[in-house]
Amino acid sequence: MSAAGTDHLPPASPEGQHGNAYEALNEGDDPRWAYGTGFADPLAGVDTAVPEGVDAAELAAYCLMLGDDALIMSHRLQEWCARAPELEEEVALANIALDLLGQARLLLARAGAVDGSGRDEDTLAFQRDPGEFRNVRLAEVPNGDFAHTTARLLVFATWRLALLDRLAASRDPVLAAVAAKGVKEVAYHRDYAAGWVVRLGDGTAYSRERMAEGLAAVWPLVPELFTPHPAERRLARAGVAADPAAAREEFDATLAQVLTAATLPHPAAPRRDDAPGGGAPGLDGPSTPSPDLRKPSAPGPGSQEGALGRDGAHTPALDGLLAELQSVARAHPGARW
């Protein structure tokens, strides 16, 4: 996904020839393309003052939530690199992952700048333990087949689009700017995923079955998306955050539109061939769910009762994901190349 192609080489230096392309890339004052060496602050020059009356620690926590959602989802999409069923889909998933990584960089940088810790985006991405991540669990569960990925992406992007669209009016100018940009990007992600859900759902009997299974697999993770963390509620009241609970109606309407076009049953609807307890878990239909159904179906070991990803309670899958994501940075702290 790097753009470090040969057409990016700076003009030949008057000081002499470069031994290789990497030296040429490192010419000048800003070495780049490598972890921890030259990625300038993505918020360079942006006015990052905290709006009056807003709790800086809470704002930082909120930026982490939205940033971690994007970072972890991006990683799962990146895992398709060199494994996607078609080159076009590989390019699409990598592009979507790149957009989300860009959003994550801005949001993590914002979090580190306002929480007073001085941690930069790299420190936050590479030096935190699983319990310190604030992403929803939908983003972290392992990849299944391509249908599972499109189901997850449809749910994630539809939800995130509804949040970012509201967040574009945030009193926090950085969140508002990141969100306004993100709306354009995530709308493309949602439409891409929706197109595949329709194609597979309204395709062959086999593709339809796989698509229905993908949706059924991610559906138990939906209620968590609309369960606001207390910090989200407080910041929403202060005009800074988007209350996810308020985005449910838009989410349901979009999902219904896609499922209708895909001729698929709603994943919460009971299926005739379901064995008791198997298939689509009957959680959270299109009508308003009762509060006790808003808990995740399978809390990870060691998590507190009722605690969610926003509280730092995750499934074991996040451990493995972070082990891979953080391995180079942790093995070689401050490494340069």
Residues engaged in binding other proteins (CB under 8 A): 1-4, 7-8, 10-11, 28-30, 32-33, 38-40, 42-46, 88-89, 91-92, 94-96, 98-103, 105-106, 161-162, 165, 173-174, 176-178, 180-185, 187-188, 190-192, 194-195, 198, 250, 253-254, 257-258, 261
Residue 30: CB minimum distance to other proteins, A: 5
Minimum separation from the CB atom of position 100 to other proteins (A)? 7
Q: For other proteins, give the closer residue by CB, 199 or 271.
A: 199
Please, which residue, 256 or 298, has the CB nearer to other proteins? 256
In whole angstroms, the minimum distance from the beta carbon of 233 to other proteins comes to: 22
Largest Cα separation within the chain, whole Å, is 75
C-alpha distances out from residue 150 to 93, 110, 190, 217, 319, Å? 10, 30, 9, 12, 23
Tokens of 169: 């009016």
As measured in angstroms, the least distance from the Cβ of 57 to other proteins is: 23
- Least Å distance between CB 275 and other proteins? 33
3-state per-residue secondary structure call for the chain:
CCCCCHHHCCCCCCCCCCCCHHHHHCCCCCCCCCCCCCCCCCCCCCCCCCCCCCCHHHHHHHHHHHHHHHHHHHHHHHCCCCCCCCHHHHHHHHHHHHHHHHHHHHHHHHHHHHCCCCCCHHHHHHCCCHHHCCCCHHHCCCCCCHHHHHHHHHHHHHHHHHHHHHHCCCCCHHHHHHHHHHHHHHHHHHHHHHHHHHHHHCCCHHHHHHHHHHHHHHHHHHHHHCCCCHHHHHHHHCCCCCCHHHHHHHHHHHHHHHHHHCCCCCCCCCCCCCCCCCCCCCCCCCCCCCHHHHCCCCCCCCCCCCCCHHHCCCCCHHHHHHHHHCHHHHHCCCCCC
d(CA 36, CA 99) in angstroms, rounded, equals 20
Q: How far is the CB of 290 from other proteins (least distance, A)?
A: 26
Which residue number, 3 or 205, has a Cβ lying nearer to other proteins? 3
- Would you say 126 or 188 has its CB closer to other proteins? 188
Nearer to other proteins, 44 or 275 (CB): 44
> Measured from the CB of residue 46, what is the shortest distance to other proteins in angstroms?
6
State in angstroms the smallest separation of the CB of 322 from other proteins.
20
Name which of 16 and 276 has its Cβ closer to other proteins: 16
Nearer to other proteins, 8 or 237 (CB): 8
Nearer to other proteins, 226 or 315 (CB): 226
